Amino acid sequence: MKTMEGKIVWVTGASRGIGRATALMFAKEGATLILNAREEGHLKEIDAQVKEVSGNAPVLLGYDVSDPVKVKDSFHLIHKKFKKLDVMVNNAGILEDSLLGMLSPELVTKIFSTNVFSVIYHMQYASRLMAKDGTGSIINVSSIIGRLGNEGQVAYGASKAAVIGATLSAAKELAPAGIRVNAIAPGFIDTDMVKQLSREKYDQRLASIKMKRLGSPEEVGKVIFFLASDAASYVTGQVIGIDGGMLV
Ligand code: NAP
């Protein structure tokens, strides 16, 4: 029997990069998936891939994770359809660089709404669904920048540090209900997100990795999968770096 058969797994930001690789990993192990991106049309490719590897049709939800009304409506729909949720992966996020002196209130709001407020809303509703069964695993995607900071990334770094704070607090609150909450802090991962960096920044970042290479989305997905699985049944309130030794 596949290890995720009968499990309902929700991945935000599943159209590309880390989210897509993670979704496929769960699909291969038989999970029933709920997949999100800003538009349902962005999920066509992953939809076909999931059907191919698992035979299970995923539920596709196109909504902006920063919109609290859309998040609430989506949970209402999933509650009606499945009555339960086993795994919530809060992966959707944006990276927009700006030096502190140039940072506009609009950009700060956009980054925090997408990277932090979304995580809080999803944890709130997910934990209500999970609490009914007294079990569940929430995995929040932070970043090494939330721990180390970076030039030009005051808002992004602050948002990812906030994800860690939210994770640790929720882990304490939800442990008595049998719900585990952990965060991961990827380093430099080969996705569309890092393609927007200038050559100079790209080379600097690469040089700071002890393993001398970027990580793959699958290498991040494997850690998310571990945190969701029974192998991590006594793991909560942790922040796991996946960075090829950037922090060593
Ligand atoms: P990516 O390739 O740019 O993919 C981002 C995903 O998030 C896409 O599926 C995108 O969907 C979705 N998304 C963005 N804004 C959204 C919104 N408002 N509502 C719903 N979905 C939204 O990025 P990635 O590299 O895989 O990053 C995934 C997560 O890992 C992010 O939280 C990022 O901060 C974090 N991370 C990445 C790295 C790295 O080196 N790549 C390092 C540390 C942390 P659309 O198709 O709708 O655009």
8-242 CATH, one of 3.40.50.720, 3.40.630.30, 1.20.1060.10, 3.30.428.10: 3.40.50.720
For residues 68 and 113, give the distance between their C-alpha atoms in angstroms, rounded to a whole number.
Answer: 10
CA of 115 to the centre of ligand 1 (A): 9
Catalytic residues: 156
Pocket of ligand 1 (CB under 6 A): 12-19, 36-39, 42, 64-66, 91-95, 114, 141, 143, 186, 188-189, 191-194
The sheet with strand 179-186 has its strands ordered as 59-62, 32-37, 8-11, 87-90, 136-141, 179-186, 239-242
CB atoms within 10 A of CB 144: 22
pLDDT at 147: 97
pLDDT at 109: 98
Q: Which residue has the tokens 């192998």?
A: 231
Structure tokens at 139: 């995995």
Instruction: Please list the ranges in the chain whose pLDDT falls under 50.
Output: none
CA of 2 to the centre of ligand 1 (A): 28
pLDDT at 1: 84
Q: What is the pTM of this model?
A: 0.98
> What are the residue ranges spanned by the domains of the chain?
8-242
CA dihedral 209, 211, 213, 214 (to 10 degrees): -70
Structure tokens at 106: 């609009």
pLDDT at 206: 95
Mean pLDDT, the chain, integer:
97
